[in-house]
Amino acid sequence: MNHLKRVWFITGTSTGFGRALAQQVIAHGDYLVATARNIKDIEALQQQAPERVLTLNLDVQREEDAKQAVQKALEQFGQIDILVNNAGYGLLGAFEELADEQIRHQFETNVFGLMNVTRAVLPILRDQRSGHIINISSILGLTAFPGLSVYSASKFAVEGLSIGLAQELAPLGIKLTLIEPGAFRTKFGATTLDKAATQNTETYDDTAGGIRNFLSDLNGVEPGDPERAANIIVQIAEMEKPPLHLILGRKALQDAKDKLGAQFSSIEKWTDVTISADFDEPIPSSFPE
C-alpha cells in the first residue's frame, strides 16, 4: 500500500453527502472504506476501484457492527486516517406530533450511532497519533426551526460532543471538523426524512406546517451542490490546520449570522442580571478560561 494515500472510513455512503464524498475520494486517488446498512446499495463504488475500495455493511446503531467494520478496514488497509460520520436522517413534525419511538430512533442514529463509530475508530487514531474526524452536522446544529426541533436537538448534541472531543484529541495529533450544511440537493426531503404519523394542523399549521410546505417546495431545487461540498471536504482533510466549524451554503451562513447576532444581543441586554447571580468575591483564578 502507498502510505502517501490516505484511508477514508465513511458512514452512510448509499446516498446524499456520503455518496458524493465517496465518489470524490475515489476520484482523488485515496483509499476508501464505504459503509451502508445495505451493502447492495454501494457495490458500484467498489467496482470503480476494486484495489482501493472496500464496501461494508454497517448499521451505526449497532456497536458491534461498528467494531467489526473497523476491524475489517484495518485488515484490508492497515490504517484509518479520516473518519467521516455522515450516516443520519431528518425528522419532521411538531414535537407534540412525534412518537417517542421516532424521537429515540432519531437520537440512536444521529447521536449514539456517531458515538459508536467514533469509539471504534479512536483507538486506531490514538495509536497512530494522527487522523481527522469529520462529523457531518447541519446548520440546524447551530440554529433551529419549528417542525425540526428534534432533528435540531440531535445535531446540537453532535455539536456539543464534537467541540469537547476536539479539545481532548488535539494533544494527540487528531483533528476534528464539524461540517454544517444548509439545504443541499441530496434528496434529503424525499428519501432521508421521517415524518410525524399524525399532524395537528389546526395547532401547528403556521409553524411546523410552514416548514413542512417549505421543504416540500424546496425538494429538488436546493441551492447547495453536493459535489462541490464533497470537494471542499476533501480539501479540508488535507489542511494542516482545518477549521473546527465549517458552514456550507449562502443561506446557512446567513442563518448562522442571524442566530448568533440575536443571541449576542440577548446576552448584552441581560448582562447585569447574568452577573448578579454570582457572589461578590472575584472569580477563582483556577477557573478554566
Catalytic residues: 137, 151, 155
DSSP letter (8 states) at residue 5: S
Alpha-carbon distance of 203 to 206, in angstroms, equals 8
Length of the chain: 289
Distance between the two ends of the chain, CA-based, in angstroms? 44
- Other CB atoms within a 10 A radius of the CB of residue 240 amount to 5
CA nearest to 170, candidates 112, 226, 125, 107? 125
* 174: β partners: 131
Rounded to an integer, what distance in angstroms lies between the CA atom of residue 91 and that of residue 109? 11
Other Cβ atoms less than 10 A from the Cβ of 267: the count is: 10
* Residue 37 Cα distances to 58, 65, 69, angstroms: 5, 10, 12
Contact 127, 169 (CB under 8 A): no
Q: What b/e sequence results for 255-265 when a residue is b if at least 16 CB atoms lie within 10 Å of its CB, and e otherwise?
A: bbeeeeeeeee
Query: Dihedral of CA 243/248/253/259: which sign?
Result: negative
